[in-house]
Chains A and B, each alone.
Chain A
Amino acid sequence: MIVVNYLAAAALFATGLYAVLTKRNLIKIVMGLSLMEGSTYLFLISLAYRAKSTAPVLLSPPGHLGPRALAHGNVADPVLQNFCLTAIVIGVAVTGVFLAVTVRIVQHYKTLDADRVRDLRG
């Protein structure tokens, strides 16, 4: 059931957003964003799936199917899966920067509380 995937993606997204909007701990905010990111991947992979499709791998297809039959047949959309791969790479880089900034904040301010790191306001 693909609907379960969409529900799971929505639930993950909502959980992550809840953390970003309510948690003051910087690490928890980063974790919330990672959850939201993961939910977008699940959403896209589910969008790529068509009923009873196989993976879009055209080398050594399962059973009686030749590569040509597979290319004309029912495979999941590889473009959306590619989106995810690209976004995962970017996401790793962003999380790296996120954690680096968090470490430096802890070194400077001696706290992880976002509410005590707000000199810039007004």
Chain B
Amino acid sequence: MSRAGLSSLLPLAVAIPLAAAAISPLAARLSRRAPLVLSALALAATGGLLAVMAPTVYGGRILSHFMGHWLPIGGHALGIAFAADAWGITFALATAFLGLLLVVYTLSELGDLGRRELGGYSCLFLLLCAALIGAALTADLFNLFVWFEVAALASYALTAFFLERPIALEAAFKILVLTTIASFAIFIGAALIYADHGALNFGQIHRALAGHLRPADLVALALLIGGFATKAGLVPFHGWLPDAHTAAPGPISALFSGLMVNLGVVAIGRIVLDVYTPAVGHHVLGLLMVLGLISAVGGALFALFQDDLKRLLAYDTISQMGVLVVGLATATVGGVAGAGYHLIDHALFKALLFLCAGSIVHMTGATKLSEMGGFGRRSPLLAAAFTVGALAIAGIPPLNGYVSLGLIHDALRSTGQAVPFAVMLVAQVLTIAALGKATWQAFYRRLPAGVEHERDERLHPGMVVTLAVLATGCVAFGVFPTFVLDHLAAVAAGVLLHPAAYAHGVLAQGGAVPSMPVPFDYTYWSDILVVGCTVVAAVPVAMAGMRWAGTRPVVALRRVQTGSVNDYAAYLVVGLLTAVLVLAGTALR
């Protein structure tokens, strides 16, 4: 198919899941499982459509389509543009295919719910997937805000969906308050940029900003970063994240953690690197680096002392988002390619781990690690899946985390950033310790005496298949890194590091982006040394984490996460103000 023909298919990638979302409550009248089957079909169709475009896009082209053929005149865009580039389509593809797997899992685990529940569930699930794909493909700032809001609305309802647990309501209120404040920040940021430059198209904004950045532009940048950092759950914007993940059922947590929070990072990467160019001499990369490092260490530290398995995984999500942002903040080929790679990796292994946690709830009803044990003997498959996920996060070769973490670590070292590198190693040790602790407690120790489980179910075949596919994915992305690096990550890094080519591609309805070769040696001694040292160091840390869990310093630390929505909003506002002061302050001096 010609490139123009391919581009004109772009809106379908959003239209298919949106239409299916509208139909699925009606489909529930046909049969109970019809909405979920419809969701699976819609996501498969979307994934297929994106896969048709993938070879062209990963070949270094940008496909761009203006809605309603409102083409730009003289570089001024009036219509809303959708542009498929390697960075966006990677996230869109991950959303479609991981979404499909999660629907299969849901069909298997929750297929016995009532008609209305399944209809509503499918509708919200598809709405969230459509919003994520839209946000990945759009090349228009206000359109990005709209997709952010669509994703937010769907996520509110999904958080509060399972009303038999009152904590779901509490979590829904917190995610509502924090995400609403974030949406104000993005809204005002977009309006400031438009008022200053009369542009909303990413390409056009990039060209308008290419000269001198005014303070208003930097305030807008700070607001956009703060808003999307809330979605990504970076510290101090993270208050909603652990609660929302704890309350939701397994597949929803996997959808939130594997895909939805990534929306924030995808948007930050796009805005900071493609729309604003970081070379203009302000502190945006430094700000991102600090945000990333605080999140990486803070999330892992809170994860270490958690007893609730899903909450532990949620804190680890904060940590992994920090790692992604650190990769972007290096603004080097290796770091950005590593971030792109880690995005896919995180979607795979975190979805796997959350589904494992959901499976444990399904089998036994246990949510706390202190009530778990001996599951390795009870379900070796589940134990194997969880172990693969934990080892992948730990970055142990040949699993996928090794490559992406190695790239980000190498990027920090090669740019001479010794302190961030050291902080990242600390975060890595804490992460390995937290997940090692969880794996050992749930699967490999004996069940603590006196613990009774409320039920004794078996895993359904669909659940097993999903876990197996995700675990295989974790292995495959680790075993064939050269293919992923050369054909996916290198092109995605090229898009983010060549903003002028991206801008041209969007405005001229198609263009080429140079791919950037990523230097990575699988057997580089220092990467393997890092893995060995962090794993060895994690053992005493994990033991300390278990022994000190009830001590006063740990209790004091955990009290920072007060559970009060007012406090979380205050953390967010402090973060926003700091971002504004850091960025705009440099311009005024």
User: Which residues in A have some Cβ–Cβ distance to B below 8 Å?
Assistant: 17, 20-24, 26, 29, 33, 36-37, 40, 43-44, 47-48, 77, 79-80, 83, 86-87, 90, 93-94, 97-98, 101-102, 104-105, 108-109, 114-115, 117-122
Contacts and interface: CB of A to CB of B under 8 A. Distances in A.
Name the residue among A21, A93, A105, A122 with the largest chain B CB count within 10 angstroms: A122
Contacts of B242: 120
26 contacts: A20-B177, A21-B573, A23-B566, A36-B181, A36-B184, A44-B191, A47-B192, A47-B195, A77-B195, A80-B191, A97-B157, A98-B173, A101-B160, A105-B173, A115-B564, A117-B169, A118-B562, A119-B170, A120-B171, A120-B174, A120-B242, A121-B559, A121-B562, A122-B558, A122-B559, A122-B563
A79 B176 CA distance: 27
A48 B195 CA distance: 7
Interface string B523-561: 000000000000000000000000000000000001101
Contact of A108 (B152, B166, B171, B180): B166
Contacts of A23: 566
Given A33-B177, A119-B167, 8 more contacts: A21-B570, A101-B172, A105-B169, A109-B166, A114-B566, A117-B173, A120-B243, A121-B558
A47 B242 CA distance: 38
Contact of B191 (A43, A93, A104, A117): A43
A101 B176 contact: yes
A94 B170 contact: no
Contacts of A43: 188, 191
Contacts of A77: 195
Interface string B239-255: 00011001100000000
Contacts of A105: 166, 169-170, 173
B512 interface: no
Interface of B: 142, 146, 149, 152-153, 156-157, 160, 163, 166-167, 169-174, 176-177, 180-181, 183-184, 187-188, 190-192, 194-195, 200, 242-243, 246-247, 558-559, 561-566, 569-570, 573
A40 B558 CA distance: 35
Nearest to A93: B153
Given A21-B573, A40-B184, A83-B187, A119 B563 contact: yes
Interface of B is mostly: helix
A21 B566 contact: yes
Contacts of B564: 114-115, 118
Given A101-B156, A115-B564, A120 B177 contact: no
Given A21-B570, A40-B188, A108-B166, A120 B247 contact: yes
A-B complex: 6 closest residue pairs judged by Cβ atoms: A121-B563, A118-B563, A122-B558, A108-B166, A120-B243, A47-B195
A10 B307 CA distance: 43
B565 A29 contact: yes
A109 B173 CA distance: 13
A97 B176 contact: yes
Contacts of B172: 101
A22 B249 CA distance: 32
Interface of A is mostly: helix
Contacts of B157: 97
A33 B180 contact: yes
Given A97-B156, A102-B173, A120 B146 contact: no
Contacts of A47: 191-192, 195
Contacts of A97: 153, 156-157, 176
B312 to A, nearest CB: 12
Contact of B561 (A79, A115, A117, A121): A121
A54 B176 CA distance: 37
A34 to B, nearest CB: 10
B565 A120 contact: no
Contacts of B142: 83, 86
Given A118-B562, A120-B170, A98 B163 contact: no
A21 B570 CA distance: 6
B169 A108 contact: yes
B553 to A, nearest CB: 13
B561 A122 contact: yes
Nearest to B195: A47
Nearest to A9: B188
A108 B188 CA distance: 36
Nearest to B176: A98
Nearest to A119: B167
A29 B177 contact: yes
Contacts of B160: 101, 104
Given A26-B173, A37-B184, A97-B176, A83 B191 contact: yes
A12 B143 CA distance: 26
Nearest to B179: A94
A33 B172 CA distance: 15
A92 to B, nearest CB: 11
Contacts of A101: 156, 160, 169, 172-173, 176
B282 to A, nearest CB: 23
Nearest to B153: A93
B170 A17 contact: no
